[in-house]
Structure 1
Amino acid sequence: MARYLFLMECEKGKEEEYIERHKAVHPELLEALKEVGITTYSIFMDGNQLYAYMEVDDYHRAMKKLENNPANRKWQAFMSDILSMDEKGDPKMYLIDQEVFRLN
């Protein structure tokens, strides 16, 4: 199982709203995440900076499958007003996929 970290940010002043929305993630999105092979997914917050950790066999394949999933599209639209977005209207994300140390 591969491990990935990616960085995002929510809009300044929207931190509490981000937290509140994640207290009730849509059940159909949770199911979609599992269906594409994501076994672990955590998001940490420091101010408006978001650090997401994910375990999945193939991150890129999983994201491709989620891209057109109705539950994911609904969630992305729901979150688009509080996340920093890129010029294409997608959440700004920076993927870190080089793990250099692990203690098991």
Structure 2
Amino acid sequence: MIKKAIRMKVYADKHEEYKKRHDEIWPELEQSIKEHGCKSYSIWLDEENNLLFAYLEIEDEDRWGQLSKTAINQKWWMYMKDVMETNEDDSPVTLSLNNVFNI
């Protein structure tokens, strides 16, 4: 199992909307995430700094990387671009975090 952590940023006035959209995640997106080898995916919000911390456990980097090419994932990105920082292709601006400690 590969453990990944990333940081993203939500707009200050969009915290509730971000949570609402994830509470109502599309079933076909959730299925696609699982089909691309994700066994666990959690996101936390640092409300003071508008930062999102995501933790994922995936089976394979290449398989996981294919998710971004799916129509459902790209549709989700377009849906989310008004609540968070995004790149020109509507993907979230992300920063991969390095694991420095485990117990």
Tell me the TM-score normalized by structure 2: 0.88
CA contact (8 A) 1:38 1:62 kept: no
Tell me, yes or no, if structure 1 residue 79 matches structure 2 residue 84: no
Query: 1:10 offset after TM fit, Å?
Result: 0.8
Aligned pair count?
101
Q: Deviations over 1:13-57 (max 9, x none)?
A: 111110111110000010001111000000000112100000012
Query: 1:88 offset after TM fit, Å?
Result: 4.8
Partner of 2:92: 91
Q: Unaligned 5+ residue runs, structure 1? A: none
Percent of aligned pairs with the same amino acid:
34
Q: Over aligned residues, Cα RMSD in angstroms?
A: 1.5
Partner of 1:18: 18
Quick one: which amino acid aligns to residue 95 of structure 2?
A: Y
| Distance (whole Å) between structure 1 residues aligned to residue 31 and residue 67 of structure 2 | 11
Quick one: which amino acid aligns to residue 54 of structure 1?
A: L
